[in-house]
Amino acid sequence: MTEATLTFPPDFLWGTATSAHQVEGDNTGNDWWAFEQRPGAIWRGDRSGKACNWWEAAERDLDLMAEMGHNTHRLSVEWSRIEPEEGRFDPAAIARYRSMLSGLRQRGIEPMVTLFHFSSPLWLARQGGWHNPAVVQHFRRFVRHTVQELGDLARLWCTINEPNVYAALGYLFGEHSPGARSVPAYFRVLRLQLLAHAAAYRVIQPAVDIAVTGGGSPGSAVCDRNDSPACGCCAAQIAVSCVVGADGGGTAVALDGSGTFESLRAMTSVTRWPSLGVPDWAGVPTWDPRRSATAGTRPAGIDSVDWCDCCAPIVKLRRYCRMASSC
């Protein structure tokens, strides 16, 4: 058996990721906190509570990151802290996030800021959340303020974490907040996330000198060619991996284990998909050991050490993206 040495570029970013609600603690103003209070919503009735207490003491974990040699960390900002009421922003929340981002930089760790990682302010949830078309304008306003306040400390941005996971678990299967079970709602939420991603991208790019903006796979609005069904992930998921299309129709990757690509229009007539043209990078999660494509069916535009192995150390979306994610 031949052994090969894989060499990563000197500027390759190695690190970890967190979401605000998972680590900050006491995020009482968002829909996930409310969802946790529902009987039976969470296994064993667990609550987030103080979580990892990052809001008061994140610096302890930042020290651990530095000790482990990390040179990047992806964290999310909590929308309900920054904008606790519609149109009102909290300077104290911004100050705390500035402290966290500065702390990362002081330790030689490049921050990547995620703007939406599954939790919405209660005021937005009461308006219908991501099922209400008004969310696009709300998200644009939130992103504009956040980037204006934090843009000097972060050059890497993730608009929406795993859009199709959020839509599927929250609006199709009912396992996450808000607990809905509706096929039309699922596709409506996906479409609004695409529009919100595009709106956020166009806010971020002019405001930040070196912005690299995208969304976490699966389901990210990060590709911009009809001939680029490029964002592969675990084939066991029956899901749309990448929505693209300059004609507003879109191309989808049907992750049914066959490695085939089908038109999104053929899959559903629930909604029409917008033209985006706003990619910078795609994140490809590789924590699942199952195969990501049938042998010999590697999609055009993807280069990897072994595309058929979902735990390949790096998947590079050649021509379409500037960054990649690794195991």
The per-residue pLDDT for 291 is: 41
The per-residue pLDDT for 277 is: 56
**Chain mean position to CA 258:** 26
Residue spans of the domains in the chain: they are 13-216, 219-282+292-321
Of the options 2.40.128.260, 3.40.120.10, 3.40.1000.10, 3.20.20.80, the CATH number for the domain spanning 13-216 = 3.20.20.80
Residue 232 confidence (pLDDT) above 50: no
The per-residue pLDDT for 285 is: 55
Cis peptide before 163 (omega within 30 of 0): no
Distance from C-alpha of 317 to C-alpha of 223, rounded to nearest angstrom: 10
DSSP assignment string, 129-192: GGGSTTHHHHHHHHHHHHHHHHTTT-SEEEEES-HHHHHIIIIIS-SSTT----HHHHHHHHHH
The answer to which of 131-135, 250-254, 275-279 has the lowest mean pLDDT is: 250-254
The per-residue pLDDT for 177 is: 96
DSSP assignment string, 60-86: HHHHHHHHTT--EEEEE--HHHH-SBT
pLDDT bracket for residue 70 (50, 70, 90): very high
For the chain, the straight-line distance linking the first and the last C-alpha, in angstroms and rounded, comes to 23
Considering the chain, what percentage of its residues have pLDDT values greater than 70? 63
Residue 218 confidence (pLDDT) above 80: no
The pLDDT of 69-91, averaged and rounded, is 97
Residue 308 confidence (pLDDT) above 90: no
The pLDDT of 208-220, averaged and rounded, is 54
Residue 305 confidence (pLDDT) above 70: no
